Amino acid sequence: MLNRHARGFFTSLFTPLARWLLKIGMSPDAVTLVGTAGVILGGLVLYPLGQLWWGSVVVAFFAFSDVVDGIMARLQGRSGGWGNFLDSTLDRLADGAIFAGLTIWFFTQGDDPAIGTAAVVCLVLGMVVSYARAKAESLGYHASVGIAERAERLASVLLITGLTGLGLPPVVLLATLVLLALASVITIIQRMATVRKQAMAEADGKATA
């Protein structure tokens, strides 16, 4: 949802930067790698140190590389399988770093096992959300549906985590993670139902033929 509505705005915003990076010799793959490294830094270094605000700022800053590398690839006419594969694979590492960092902090000095547990659940369910779409597409179906795609998950977690670092009561972060987990479950069900519908229609077509 957020991906579709915000894509045009962020494409216009970051196209000048993408052109400049290409001009100085940066490749889309390099931007993808640097962006992922930055997200991992924020998630696995700053979050476990309790720097929830600055960790969120760093993660959000580098997360925009996900937009920039795509624009660069299109400007070069290189949009294709390898770039999509690399981007998708590193996105899983980035997501894992964010939720793992929260888990580490709240199970240790953050002293809030409920939030740590919710972060683990969100991590697992988020991976299943992404896997369901990838597996569907590998089988020739589409599953780009659901109320909790990656952009929504990251935006909500980063915003509330950052505000928690500035003094927002931790219970708000807990509620956000619980709601995100529920939304992820709904998204998984939506994607499974969508693929099942396509598979049944395909089977009926073959039976008729």
Quote the CA–CA distance of 31 and 39 in Å, as a whole number: 12
Residue 34: in which H helix or E strand, if any? Answer: helix 28-41
pLDDT, one tens digit per residue, over 75-112 is 887 766 787 888 888 999 999 999 999 999 999 999 99
N-term to C-term CA, the chain: 37
Is residue 91 annotated as part of the catalytic site, yes or no?
Answer: yes
Is pLDDT at 58 greater than 90 in this prediction? yes
- Other C-beta atoms closer than 10 Å to the C-beta of 13 total 14
pLDDT at position 2: 46
pLDDT, one tens digit per residue, over 137-182 is 989 999 988 887 787 788 899 999 999 999 999 999 999 999 999 9
pLDDT at position 59: 95
- Residue 73: pLDDT band by 50, 70, 90 thresholds? confident
Which entry of 66, 69, 87, 91 is annotated as an active-site residue?
Answer: 91
Q: What is the mean pLDDT of residues 35-52?
A: 95
pLDDT at position 13: 81
pTM of the full predicted structure?
0.86
Pair of tokens at residue 139: 């089988």
What share of the chain in percent tops pLDDT 70? 95
Least confident of 20-29, 32-41, 45-54, 74-83: 74-83
Quote the CA–CA distance of 187 and 201 in Å, as a whole number: 21
Q: Which position has the higher pLDDT, 123 or 9?
A: 123
pLDDT at position 208: 76
**Residue type for position 21:** L
- Residue 1: pLDDT band by 50, 70, 90 thresholds? very low
Mean pLDDT of the chain: 89
Q: What is the mean pLDDT of residues 39-61?
A: 96
